[in-house]
């Protein structure tokens, strides 16, 4: 069975607008619930990209990582994933693949060129593309 990311159309449109308007990669965390192979997005936790090479990479301050987890816990949610944008198609870069294996949560990628989106998760020996279901 293929995994599924359930996210509201409104949240996706918000991310696409932000990605298309940004001169660097946008990034943040996905808060929600995991139900087997389904990942339900409840809200986004936006963070600042602190990478010195913002156009081609993203990095999040460790304090914001902690704050995202604290926020999720207070709301009874989990950090189910990470989102970020690419200036190109929404496919994982070599760097993304490395970190996806280290942190096997959902990775939602937004294209800053055409607004397309795709989601992925690391499985034991592979990277699986998730179905993105707009709600």
C-alpha to C-alpha distance for 9 and 15, rounded to whole angstroms: 10
C-alpha to C-alpha distance for 126 and 85, rounded to whole angstroms: 22
> What tens digit of pLDDT does each residue of 41-97 get?
999 999 999 999 999 999 999 999 999 999 999 999 999 999 999 999 999 999 999
Q: pTM for the full model?
A: 0.95
What's the Cα-to-Cα distance from 109 to each of 70, 71, 104, 129, 134, rounded to whole Å?
Answer: 24, 22, 15, 11, 15
φ/ψ of 6, rounded to 5, equals -100, 120
Say what the pLDDT of residue 1 is.
Answer: 56
Say if residue 20's pLDDT is above 60.
Answer: yes
Say what the pLDDT of residue 89 is.
Answer: 96
Q: Which two tokens stand for residue 54?
A: 């913002």
All structural domains of the chain: 4-134 (3.40.140.10)
DSSP code string of 68-92: HHHHHHHTT-EEEEEEEEESS-S--
């Amino acid at each position: 069975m293929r995994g599924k990311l359930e996210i509201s159309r409104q949240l996706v449109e918000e991310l696409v607008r932000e990605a298309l308007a940004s001169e660097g990669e946008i990034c943040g965390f996905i808060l929600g619930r995991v139900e087997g192979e389904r990942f339900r997005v409840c809200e986004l936790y936006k963070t600042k990209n602190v990478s010195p090479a913002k156009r081609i990479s993203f990095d999040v301050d460790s304090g914001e990582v902690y704050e995202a987890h604290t926020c999720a816990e207070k709301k009874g949610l989990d950090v189910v994933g990470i989102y970020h944008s690419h200036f190109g198609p929404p496919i994982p870069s070599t760097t993304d693949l490395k970190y996806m294996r280290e942190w096997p949560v959902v990775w939602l990628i937004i294209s800053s060129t055409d607004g397309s989106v795709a989601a992925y998760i690391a499985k034991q020996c592979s990277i699986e593309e998730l179905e993105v279901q707009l709600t």
